[in-house]
Structure 1
Amino acid sequence: MALGNWLVCHQTLNLLEADFYNWNRVKLRYCDGASFTGNRIFKNETTTLYFKGQKIWEAIIEDLLPKGLGKAYKALLSGCSAGGLATFHHCDNFTKYLPTNASVKCLSDAGFFLDERDVSLNHTMRYFFKSLVTLQGIEQNLNENCTSALSDPDLCFFPQYALKYISTPYFILNSAYDVFQFHHILAPPSADPLGYWSHCRVNKSACTPAQINTLQGFRLSMLAALKPFYFYSKRGGMFINSCFAHCQSESQETWFGDDSPRINKKTIPRSSW
């Protein structure tokens, strides 16, 4: 699973000038391999593994509450990559820890991992996620409304299935040509044993017209998966560009640079807050 950064930001003072100028920022180190959702002890003949991501999340938040988070009236839970995936699974739970009158929002950067077939028409990412859910005992910590609605509850680990059940205001920042997903979901080495995609993965200008069409198809699949959220979310938003990128909020060049990506003349931060 891709490593990712996960942030809990909260504000306890009035905003008098630019957003975030007096906010506290907490960075949660990611190490559990399942976006802070696992809770299982795995044993075999020689090894005992402790998957405690859910407990780590709970312990960190409980530790932060008396240090100021419990009095925050504005808070933002955000993350990149696997951290972005974590925000999908903990957004509503994070809101429940804070005062009822607090303004809480969540932002996922490059965490919208798509349930899509690879170039060999296999569900490589789906099988990976399903094995991860089983190994770490994740299903018990997935959105109950989602797991009860789907015949295969493991699919709720994918953001596209869990998103409709999130009630907290949510913003999605993602590239429709997410380079990590290109390499690991669409064209993973296991789906390309003859190396047909090897040059295209390294150098996009080396992609053949057929490969460009396949990439365009992946983009269309992502937009289709996001369409219900776009049309029906009353308190959410998104910034979906076509850069070959993975995580854009932690780089000044993509976040707020003079030549950073724009949609309707707005940069990412101007669109998201």
Structure 2
Amino acid sequence: MAILRQSALIWCRKFSKRDLLTASVGLTLILFSFSFLFSFSKNTVVFTLNNSNFVPLTLLFNAKDRGAFCLDGSLPGYHFDKGYGSGSSNWVLHIEGGGWCESVATCSLRKKTALGSSNHMEQEVQFSGILSSDPARNPDFFNWNKVKIRYCDGSSFAGHPESEFHNGSGLFFRGQLIWEALMDEFLSMGMSNARQDALLAGSPL
């Protein structure tokens, strides 16, 4: 199967729950690099959007009890398109890029955008390219379980409450907690039984 046909950023392997949680530290470093390399550009065209499906935003309600919040304190979210047929036990995860905010000032600005708050995220996004459900455009993954993880913590899932400012800034740096909550959510949805996972980091789909 020509897995690298549409993207050179795909890493395919089977994950156990322990593997996923252990890999979160390494993934943070990968995302740190890719988030700068793949920051969004208005002039970038990756895939055409014709015949692609719109997928609603799902808020991660299990994050509240864990204190896993976006920069502004809102709940993190993702978009999920359920797989079927031969792809029902396989998963593609796409992690939204967007770079870091590097100061209280820039993070305070970011928390008023979709990269810092689920309150500003689109209620639906169009899945295209590697996330497309069109077998003609995405023959390898069209019927897999496909997830777009929204990025809203400002530090590529590396933040932790211990690193937060305690100066009344109202900023939440909870990326590590968001990542753990997301993995638990997807594992409970069937990813723990996945035959093969394809993990995409920071690509601007």
Q: Same fold (TM over 0.5)?
A: no
Of Structure 1 and Structure 2, the greater helix share is in 1
Q: For the pair shown, which has the larger CA radius of gyration, 1 or 2?
A: 1
TM-score (norm. length: structure 2): 0.32
Greater relative contact order (Cα < 8 A, sep 6+)? 2
